Structure 1
Amino acid sequence: MKKRRNVIITLILVVVVGAVVGKITFNNIAAAHQRLLDERIPSVLLSGIPDGTYMGSYSAFPVLAEVKVTVKAQTITDIELVKHRNGQGEWAEAILVKVVASQSLDVDVIAGATISSRVILRAIGKALER
């Protein structure tokens, strides 16, 4: 009887600790995503960027993006998504075409992939701020 009671108490403690850790983790992720949504994506002046290929990365758990941006004659000629770890934001990869077409990071995010879109834009910005 005593052994059964100890097992039940242990299980209850494990569930409670798991719930607390899960709640803290969820709150931290939600806060990080809200900061990402609230931050303004900085503009990039292509006139000051020499020709070359630039690497950049950005992450907001669970989303990560690594990009390779090619600049020639003060124009973004190509953006390669080297790595994109996404939750459900695979559609955000379409934002690369928008950035090249507009030559700006001031583009609309992809609906349904807002966090991934903003992470990719921040990675491009990091590549070009060097």
Structure 2
Amino acid sequence: MKKKTKIIISVVAFVVAAIVTTGYIIISGMQKNLDNLKSIESNDVDLSKISDGTYSGSYKVLPISVEVSVTVKDHKITAIDLLKHDNGKGKAAETIINDVIKADSLKVDAVTGATYSSKVILLAIEDALSIATETNNK
């Protein structure tokens, strides 16, 4: 009985150690992604080069993932639909969409308390507008 108990304890200890190690690796990777996000700036896009239409864009930095649909009419951003926003505590960042539409620019302040999600949303919008620019320049 003692030998069986030792084996069970050893297996349980190994499984717990493996789970803790895996969790640490995943969390460290996500934190590194978020730290790298701090240095990425969204670039404003020249709307005069974009034809009327609706353009899709996305951006992903674990644990945040965003997909948007951006509508441009008369060289102005008239609508942004948030198709997907997987986030941690960054739901508040979704209000940045209204700021972008009002400013007709990506140069808006991040939402306090949701900086990472704000940046990823802006980068997804930039992606959509960049695709639009490339499409119109072909």
Question: TM range, normalised to the smaller chain?
Answer: over 0.9
CA apart distance, 1:128: 0.3
Asked if 1:44 is matched to 2:42, the reply is no
| Aligned pairs for 1:36-115 within 5 A | 36-115=37-116
State the partner residue of 1:29.
30
State the partner residue of 2:129.
128
- Residues 25-66 of structure 1 show CA distances to partners (whole Å, capped at 9, x for unaligned) of 111100101111111112211111111000011111221111
Q: Secondary structure at the match of 2:24?
A: helix
Give TM-score, length-normalised by structure 2: 0.90
Q: Which amino acid aligns with 1:97?
A: N
Alignment length (residue pairs): 130
Show structure 1 runs of 4+ deviating over 4 A.
none
Give TM-score, length-normalised by structure 1: 0.96
Q: Which amino acid aligns with 2:16?
A: V
Gaps of 5+ in 2: 132-138
